[in-house]
């Protein structure tokens, strides 16, 4: 009697066990495929970021060259300005005092 009940219980649970196994297999496959898809998306994102980084580094190199040229030009102009200041006459009438500079500043000159 107990054996027949166990046999009945097993027979009744067998389809549930098969269904649970099928769901587990499908779920594992689904999650594996989802993980592979996510990994592929991350690889694409990494490749995109590497391209962006390479472009940014190239732009930085160009900007560094431009800054170097601008600084060299600025130094040249500073030297020319210093030479022009030395060449100016020492006549006090040719110099602006603070009041003159303030008046010029007020009047937008």
In the prediction, which pLDDT does 44 show? 94
pLDDT at position 99 is 84
Give the model's pLDDT for residue 16. 67
Residue 92's Cβ-count burial label (10 Å; 0-12, 13-18, 19+) is exposed
pLDDT in tens, the chain (109 residues): 555 655 666 666 677 666 677 777 777 777 787 888 888 899 999 999 999 999 999 999 999 999 999 999 999 999 998 888 787 767 666 677 788 888 888 887 6
Distance separating alpha carbons of residues 10 and 16, to the nearest angstrom: 10
pLDDT attached to residue 83: 85
pLDDT for residue 33: 76
CA of 101: how far to CAs of 10, 33, 91, in Å? 105, 76, 17
Kindly state the greatest CA–CA separation across the chain: 130
Distance CA 33, CA 15 (A): 27
């Amino acid at each position: 009697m107990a054996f027949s009940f166990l046999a009945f219980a097993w027979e009744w649970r067998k389809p549930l066990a098969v269904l649970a196994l099928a769901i587990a297999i499908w779920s594992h496959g689904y999650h594996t495929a989802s993980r592979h898809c996510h990994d592929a998306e991350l690889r694409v994102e990494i490749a995109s970021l590497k391209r962006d980084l390479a472009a940014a580094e190239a732009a930085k190199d160009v900007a560094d060259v431009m800054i170097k040229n601008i600084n060299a030009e600025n130094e040249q102009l500073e030297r020319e300005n210093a030479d022009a200041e030395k060449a100016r006459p020492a006549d006090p009438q040719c110099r602006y005092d603070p009041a003159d500079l303030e008046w010029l500043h007020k009047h937008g000159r």
